[in-house]
Amino acid sequence: MPACLGLTVGNMLYPNSSKDSTFINEKVAIDSRYKRLLLELDARVDYNILRKEKYIVAPYIFAGVTGSFHTPYFGFDIPVGAGINTHLPKNKDLYLNLEAGYKLAVTSNDYDHLQYTAGIVYWYKPHYKRPVQTIQSAMEELKPAPDMDNDGVPDSIDKCPTIPGLAEFDGCPDTDGDGVPDNLDKCPLVPGLKAFDGCPDTDGDGIPDNIDKCPYVAGTADNNGCPPPDRDHDGVPDNIDKCPDEPGPASNFGCPVIERQVIELVEKAARSVYFETGKAVLKKISFTSLDKIVNVMKNNPKLYIDIGGYTDSVGSDERNIKLSDDRANVCKNYLESKGVAADHITAKGYGKADPVATNKTALGRAQNRRTEFKLRNYAK
């Protein structure tokens, strides 16, 4: 916020319409009555909105006091206003100045008035001397920057100033040559991957060796990089093995395969389960077949059975779903009544879904009206 002091010297022309004209006519010779000497002394403070050292166009505002003398009067004003300094390109200290101010008259001999100015401003900086370069200072400038480890990277920007390194890594070395500098490499002596902060992933399980408890065998993150346990050693991890203590193939969720003759017996019996037409009522001829299934379940208490009911395409979907579901549950109730554990049986109707034959013939529709019994030896 610079303070300014200025002196203005000039001539002032009195217009005929001025209130002073009468006085001038009476007191001053006619040949010089319009033009009088003007002296103004300004003291003011400028507030720079933008600094002219940094911006091409720098606006400012100002306020102050003005003392004036214009024959035969003394006056006193308060100026306020705004202006801009525009940097001239060929001299960094030279500016074009444009300013507008409004002067508020304090004495009775003055009037409120606007005042416009335009000019050139030179920014003078007192006590500034251009430094004189000596031989010693020139030699200091030519002297190389300190480089403690002699790696060509100055200590001021060397992140590893005591260990020789590479400029591309800000002066730090890359001992294992994996593209990760030692100061960021969690495994600086073993080539690794950037994704793992310079550590390798030997078993390729996505877990870097430095935190992998089984770095040479692929594992899972929730098991600290080790493979999940497999108690029965059947190749199916315990976390997905439905029979973790009995070896079995992955196709059967790690459980032993059910004997084929048992499966065939149940499937054959299921083909002989019949219902009253359009009803969920078992025909008596079905009891013999259902009893064979009951015997299989009782002789193999680890077995589970899923009963699915199906219909042909005749009738509405809603009716077919209900009918097939009722028939499946009738079979379930029969098995339970014969002593098969209820929690080892599921029953659901699927309506006309998954046809095994065409619905365009009577024979095909008869085949589609069926109840299926599927065995499993694991809990869902």
Express each pLDDT in 323-343 by its tens digit. Answer: 999 999 999 999 999 999 999
Residues of the chain with pLDDT > 90, as a percent, come to 63
Q: Is residue 131 part of a domain?
A: no
Give the chain's domain count.
2
pLDDT of residue 29: 42
Q: How far apart are CA 196 and CA 203, in angstroms?
A: 14
pLDDT of residue 133: 65
pLDDT beyond 50 at 127: yes
Q: Is residue 201 part of a domain?
A: no
Question: Could you give the dihedral angle defined by the CA atoms of residues 56, 57, 59 and 65, in that order, rounded to the nearest 10 degrees?
Answer: 80
Q: How far apart are CA 159 and CA 165, in angstroms?
A: 9
pLDDT of residue 30: 43
The answer to whether 349 touches 321, Cβ cutoff 8 Å, is yes
pLDDT beyond 60 at 17: no
Listed residues 104, 122, 140: the one ending a domain: 122
Which residues share a beta bridge with 79?
Answer: 103
Which residues share a beta bridge with 349?
Answer: 309
The answer to whether 282 touches 275, Cβ cutoff 8 Å, is yes
pLDDT of residue 41: 87
Mean pLDDT, range 65-76, rounded to an integer: 81
pLDDT beyond 60 at 169: yes
pLDDT of residue 24: 47
pLDDT of residue 138: 67
Looking up residue 281, the CATH number of its domain turns out to be 3.30.1330.60
35-48 sheet: strands from edge to edge: 3-13, 35-48, 57-70, 73-87, 94-105, 113-122
Q: Is residue 241 part of a domain?
A: no
pLDDT of residue 28: 45
Structural domain of residue 331, as residue ranges?
260-376
Mean pLDDT, range 12-25, rounded to an integer: 52
pLDDT of residue 157: 92
Residue 378's identity, in one-letter code, is: Y
pLDDT of residue 99: 92
Nearest to 77, CA basis, from 101, 53, 95, 46:
101
pLDDT of residue 130: 59
Question: First CA to last CA across the chain, in angstroms?
Answer: 83
pLDDT of residue 83: 93
pLDDT of residue 125: 65
Q: Is residue 96 part of a domain?
A: yes
Q: Is residue 339 part of a domain?
A: yes
pLDDT band at 249 (very low <50, low <70, confident <90, very high): very high
Q: Which long-range contacts (CB under 8 A, 24 or more apart) does 139-142 make?
A: none
pLDDT band at 299 (very low <50, low <70, confident <90, very high): very high
pLDDT of residue 88: 83
Listed residues 88, 122, 156: the one ending a domain: 122
Range with the lowest mean pLDDT among 75-79, 129-133, 142-146, 286-290? 129-133
pLDDT of residue 34: 52
Q: Is residue 45 part of a domain?
A: yes
Q: Which has the higher per-residue pLDDT, 140 or 302?
A: 302
CB atoms within 10 A of CB 251: 9
pTM, full prediction: 0.49
pLDDT digits (tens, 9 = 90+) for 22-52: 444 444 444 444 566 778 888 889 888 888 7
Mean pLDDT, range 168-196, rounded to an integer: 94
Mean pLDDT of the chain: 87
Longest dimension (CA), the chain: 149
pLDDT beyond 50 at 92: yes
Range with the lowest mean pLDDT among 60-64, 67-71, 369-373, 374-378? 67-71
Q: Is residue 203 part of a domain?
A: no
pLDDT of residue 15: 54
Nearest to 275, CA basis, from 290, 292, 295, 293:
290
Q: Is residue 233 part of a domain?
A: no
Range with the lowest mean pLDDT among 6-20, 52-66, 160-174, 329-343? 6-20
Q: How far apart are CA 192 and CA 209, in angstroms?
A: 9
Tokens 């002073």 appear where?
20
Listed residues 65, 88, 122: the one ending a domain: 122
pLDDT of residue 31: 42
Q: How far apart are CA 163 and CA 94, in angstroms?
A: 51
